[in-house]
Amino acid sequence: MNGNVLTTPEDVTPPWLTAVLHENGFLKRGNVTDIQITLAKTLPLSVVARLAVTYSADVSLPSQFFLKLSRNDLSEANSKEVEFYNNLAREIDGPPLVRCYDAAYADESGSSHLLLEDLSATHFQPQSPQPPPPSYCELAMASLAELHAIWWEHPQLGKQIGGLFSEEQLDLFLRELENNIRSFIDFLSDELSARQREIYERLLASKDRIWGHLTDASGLTVTHGDAHWWNLLYPRDVESHRVCLFDWQLWHVDLGARDLAFMVALGGYSQRMAAMERSLVRRYYDSLITHGVTNYTWADCWEDYRWSALRNLNLPVIQWVQGKRPEFWRSNLERALLAYEELRLFELLGD
């Protein structure tokens, strides 16, 4: 959309917003006459602001916008999120996405901005680290499935939409994965039990089976990549509004069940949800079928979920390599190992 990237909330002036909304096809008549910054906050990865907007005429546009200004040290993620809103999301007019009115990225600085509809009056986020109530978790499954269904086995996956591993890229990825896992095991040393070491050895022995399908678009879709419970907005009135997903910086082509395994099997940075696990995955599957996915059985979905849960064992390794806080990756390690036993994932590896 607009190529000029904002650097502060004050850059959003009435002339600028009028031009952007007109250029992007949202403002057909009139103009923006006033903008008030009602909230501005600096977060670890971005600066966000809420904007109250007044128009010169009666228009069917929001009076409240949400502005996200990303840090330039996350240039790859910034670029991917702008690409998502400018290319993939343009045909989705609202829920289960937050409607985007402008998205821009600057190659030179690596910075970006997003101008989104502000849903704070109609939606809420649960207080971390607690997930939302069970009924809202089910609504989240339905919204996630609806989005996955849109791109399910899309003919442009790996071409104009995201990328797939080539055989050479997959081989490089798997060699790096093995090196990182062995370094992780050596680092933890005696902290890992013999059983836990064996689990990681079995993971490495089956790495081609676990990740090899990512060279072919069959059964794949566009996934969020960071689908935890706090990257969703939940409706205050479930009769009038939908669960919406935001923060698409890590989207990629993968099994749809990979998002589920992150949210449910791992817990999405919270506790395991074993008591609700199968019913949530079933709600996701039923919504996939409702939205047109075919040639995909419930047994297929459950197996994809279990294989995706196996991949959660690599998440604490990645976080350790990235230098994340020990309490962060250690809690994920504990939950991934617990899911391995509770979901009987060892059966997939021939144990």
CA distance 216 to 158: 8
Q: What is the pLDDT of residue 108?
A: 85
CATH class held by domain 124-349: alpha beta
How large is the average pLDDT for residues 181-199? 96
- Tokens 């990629």 belong to residue: 252
- 9-121 shares its CATH topology with 124-349: no
Q: Are 222 and 88 in contact (CB under 8 A)?
A: yes
How large is the average pLDDT for residues 229-255? 95
Domain limits of the chain? 9-121, 124-349
How large is the average pLDDT for residues 44-67? 93
Phi-psi region of 4 (alpha: psi -120 to 50; beta: other; left: phi over 0): beta
Assess whether pLDDT exceeds 70 at residue 258: yes
pLDDT in tens, 23-41: 999 999 999 999 999 999 9
Q: What is the pLDDT of residue 72?
A: 66
> Is 9-121 in CATH node 3.30.200.20?
yes
Packed helices 134-151 and 277-290: angle between N→C axes, nearest 10 degrees: 40
Residue 87: count of CB within 10 angstroms of its CB: 12
Question: Comparing 53-67, 138-152, 246-260, 264-278, which segment has the lowest mean pLDDT?
Answer: 264-278
How large is the average pLDDT for residues 289-313? 97
Q: What is the pLDDT of residue 218?
A: 94
Q: What is the pLDDT of residue 90?
A: 83
**H or E segment at 141?**
helix 134-151
